[in-house]
Structure 1
Amino acid sequence: MKVAVYKGFWDMLPLNLAVLPWGILCGSLAVQNGFTPLEAQLMSLLVFAGSAQLVAIELIAKDTALITLLITTFIISARHLLYGLAIRNKMVDKPLKWRSSIAFFLTDELFAFSHHHRAYQGKLRLLYALVAGGSFYVAWNLWTLIGIIAGQFLPDLTNLGLDFAIAAIFIALVIPSITTVPILCACICSAISILIFKLVHFEFGLIASALLGMTVGYLLQSYKERT
């Protein structure tokens, strides 16, 4: 059991450190857009979804309608539904306390640890996932707190390019998972299409490029399995 706890913590540590600029940006952006320190910290404690938090902060600061805020953050976080479906067969027979805990901690980073065929199988592997996800949660809230403090005393931190951490983390998570031609083609399709959508200023370009990439990957995988 101690080995599972130790390994879960140390395996997630690089990602805990990598998300530091992102968490600082989230905390500082919140206080600089009118959130109280308590409200900014509670967002990380309760929402715990970096990209959705950043977008929500911007929308709330602009007095966006509640329905727009809810729909936008739902779309951004919809990938977590896919994460849940991907590990459903591994978790469906587990007690509620394990399923609810893993569900709360199931970020992009923890999902990257879920590809092993024996992931979540047995109490030790569940404990490993819980420690890994829990340590990321603690780190995210710690970095948010630092951002809240820094945002009150330092100039606009958004000018420091901290948002690049978001792209860097996702690149680091995606590259190791590119193990087949269909996955590679799906990534290339999404990358090219989002650039095109950006150039033509298509408002829903991110969503469309993700759907195109998934469609291409699915079709190629289906063709591969038939041949």
Structure 2
Amino acid sequence: MNIAIKKGLLDMLPLNLAVLPWGILCGSLAIQNGFSALEAQLMSLLVFAGSAQLVAIELMAKGASMITLVITTFIISARHLLYGLAIRNNMIDKPLKWRGPIAFFLTDELFAFSHHHRAYQGKLRLIYALVAGGSFYLAWNLWTLFGIVAGQFLPDLTNLGLDFAIAAIFIALVVPGVSNLPVFCACLVSGVTMLYFKWIEFEFGLVAAALLGMSTGYVLQAKEDKS
């Protein structure tokens, strides 16, 4: 058990540190948009979804309607439904005491550790997942707290380019998973079309680019499986 705990902590440590600018940005942005320190911290404690939190903060600050807030954050977080489906076969026979916490901790970062065919199989692997996911949760809330404090005493931190941490983390998570041509083409199509949609200022460009990328990967994988 000690080995699983130690490995979970060490494996997640680089991502715990890499998310520091993102957490600080989230905390400071909330403060600068009129959130109280308690509200900003509770968002990270209860929502625990970096990109959705940043968008929600911006929308709430601009007075967006509740329906706009719900739909937008749902679209942004919809990928977690796919994460759940991807590990479903490994988790379906586990008691709720395991499934509940792992579902809560199933971020992009933890999912990156879930590709091994024996992931979540056996008590030690479940402990490993909980420790890795739990350590990321603690780090995210700690960095959010730093951002809350900084946001009250320092000038606008959004001008420091901290949002680059978001792109950097996702690049680090995606690149190791590009192991075959269908996945590579899916990433390429998503990236190129997203740039195009951004250029023409298409409001739902992120969603459309993701769907095009997934469709490309699915079609190519299907052809590869038949051959």
List structure 1 segments (4+ residues) > 6 angstroms apart after TM superposition: none
Matching residue of 2:96: 96
Matching residue of 2:111: 111
1:16 and 2:9 correspond: no
CA offset at residue 192 of structure 1?
Answer: 0.7
Question: Any idea what SS the aligned residue of 1:45 has?
Answer: helix
Structure 2: how far apart are the matches of 1:200 and 1:150? 36
CA offset at residue 17 of structure 1?
Answer: 0.1
CA offset at residue 115 of structure 1?
Answer: 0.3
1:180 and 2:180 correspond: yes
Amino acid at match of 2:8: G
Amino acid at match of 1:14: P
CA offset at residue 199 of structure 1?
Answer: 1.1
Structure 2: how far apart are the matches of 1:191 and 1:144? 29
CA offset at residue 135 of structure 1?
Answer: 0.1
- Provide the alpha-carbon RMSD of the alignment: 0.3
Structure 1: how far apart are the matches of 2:82 and 2:186? 16
Matching residue of 1:38: 38
Question: Any idea what SS the aligned residue of 1:185 has?
Answer: helix
TM-score if structure 1 supplies the norm length? 1.00
Matching residue of 1:131: 131
CA offset at residue 220 of structure 1?
Answer: 0.2
1:164 and 2:164 correspond: yes
Amino acid at match of 2:183: I
Q: Kindly report which structure 2 residues correspond to 1:9-88, keeping only aligned pairs within 5 A, or say none.
A: 9-88=9-88
Structure 2: tracts of 5 or more residues without a match: none
> Could you list the per-position Cα deviations for residues 41-94 of structure 1 after superposition, in whole angstroms to 9, with x for gaps in the alignment?
000000000000000000000110001000000000000000000000000000
> Could you list the per-position Cα deviations for residues 105-134 of structure 1 after superposition, in whole angstroms to 9, with x for gaps in the alignment?
000000000001110000000000000000
Structure 1: how far apart are the matches of 2:128 and 2:186? 30
Amino acid at match of 1:182: P
Structure 2: how far apart are the matches of 1:150 and 1:198? 31
Structure 1: how far apart are the matches of 2:204 and 2:63? 21
TM-score if structure 2 supplies the norm length? 1.00
Query: Sequence identity of aligned pairs in percent?
Result: 77
Structure 1: tracts of 5 or more residues without a match: none
Amino acid at match of 1:16: N
